[in-house]
Amino acid sequence: MQSITEEMEEKYDLPQQYLESKKQMKDEEEEQDEEYFQELDPAIPIKEEFPGRYNFQVSLGNLDSSKNWVYSQVLKKVFINMEETLPLRFKWEPPEDGLLLRTAMVFSLDQYASDPVRRCHNHMAPNNPSNRDVAPRVIKHVVRCTHHLTMYEERSEHLSIVVPLNRPQPGSQYVPVCFKFLCKNSCPSGMNRRPTELIFTLENCNRRILGRQRLPVRVCSCPKRDKKKEEAEVTDTQPDIKKRKLCIPVGKKMMPSCDTHVFNVQLNIVGKENYLAVLKYAYDIMAGQAIKTGQLDFFKPYMDDILRKTP
């Protein structure tokens, strides 16, 4: 027979045993959910921001320390020269070890969400100085990280880089990570003037997403000029009742100025992909001018000629 003391210990141990059993069941369910969501995890990163339980945050380094990049408060966007360093700061609470930072560059517009962001043919060329002593799997990445343990990954043709995150140094509340960009948004056979952004995800060792942040980025030759131009475009779209309307005579249309001189160009292009890229760029340029100026009838024969030359 059990003593009264043993009965009392068994009685008061029951709640603890129950809690431990419930915790074990919850952990097993979370592991099953994690495996399930990993299987359904899309190759295209989701863009919605969420700090998560770690309050994951990203901020810029010292804005006054570089002339090679600028930040627009209006657009919440970075404009940076190619091959220049962008210093960022990452913070999470509590600052645990063993976490990972994944960075992926994606197109901002939904119609291009399924297109992978890659470098253009020119910047991926073997004789390009930026590709010297670089592993083949890294060359296609627009974004590179200066961290010596950076992992370059590809899934369903979509590229990302992964960096291990250690807890901040004593006296600091964030971990600095620096990035470089090896292609421009204006490159025809690459990003082709499409807006882009960086998606940062905080992940555990099982690649489960714990938090997400985003940062629009434009890689260009003149960051200050492009920043001013895009901010002006946003300002111009806002209604202004003080602006006077320009009176146009009845029966006349105001057309933007456009060079309509026709030039015949004969080129020898190496590589089918390069050839198609040149044709596509010429077609897109004329299509854009046709829409902008309203002179579709004028441009259409020349655009059709390009389509006939496309294999």
Numbered residues of the known binding site for Zn(2+): 120, 123, 183, 187
Give residue for tokens 């292009």: 269
CA distances from 121 to 23, 102, 105, 184, 264 (A): 54, 25, 18, 12, 25
| Residue 21 exposure: Cα atoms within 13 Å on the Cβ side | 6
What span, in angstroms and rounded, lies between the C-alpha atoms of 183 and 212? 24
Nearest to 199 by CA among 178, 180, 215, 179: 215
Amino acid at 268: N
Helices (H) and strands (E) in the chain, counts: 5, 11
What span, in angstroms and rounded, lies between the C-alpha atoms of 130 and 133? 9
What span, in angstroms and rounded, lies between the C-alpha atoms of 129 and 114? 30
Annotated binding site: 120, 123, 183, 187
**What is the pairing mode between strands 85-91 and 77-81?**
unpaired
CB 73 within 8 A of CB 55: no
Partners of 100 in the β-ladder: 164, 203
